[in-house]
């Protein structure tokens, strides 16, 4: 662990990167077993599954940043876990919106 101390790993960022790596792995496997086909969606540009994943990820980043900038990260609920409770930031709503937008992008773009 000494050797990677400079990378300053934390549990949340580690979970984030593991999820990202798993997404990429799943998409790669899908591409191998069900080869990608281009199609033209609402943007009038040919996109493959990989393009739509890229767009979803970029949209996710933009939605979260806009949410932080415009709405903020106030607590919307406290789960009764532990002594002080587990606070849920309103940023999770941005995550929900991102997931919905990803579904929309995968179906329509």
For other proteins, the binding residues (CB under 8 A) are 5-10, 12-13, 16-17, 44-46, 54, 58, 61-62, 65, 68-69, 72-73, 91
Provide the minimum distance between the beta carbon of 7 and other proteins in the complex, in angstroms, as a whole number.
Answer: 5
Nearer to other proteins, 62 or 99 (CB): 62
Of 16 and 86, CB closest to other proteins: 16
* Alpha-carbon gap, residue 58 to 63, rounded angstroms: 9
Measured CA to CA, the distance from residue 105 to residue 56 in angstroms comes to 7
What is the rounded distance in angstroms from the CA atom of residue 99 to the CA atom of residue 108? 14
């Amino acid at each position: 662990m000494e050797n990677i101390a400079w990378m300053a790993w934390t549990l949340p960022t580690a979970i984030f990167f593991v999820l990202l790596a798993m997404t990429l792995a799943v998409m790669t496997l899908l591409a191998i077993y069900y080869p990608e086909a281009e199609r033209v969606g609402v943007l009038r540009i040919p996109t493959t599954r990989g393009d739509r994943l890229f767009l979803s990820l970029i949209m996710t980043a933009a939605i979260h940043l806009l949410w932080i900038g415009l709405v903020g990260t106030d607590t919307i609920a406290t789960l009764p876990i532990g002594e002080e409770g587990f606070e849920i930031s309103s940023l999770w709503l941005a995550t929900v919106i991102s997931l919905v937008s990803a579904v929309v992008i995968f179906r329509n773009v």
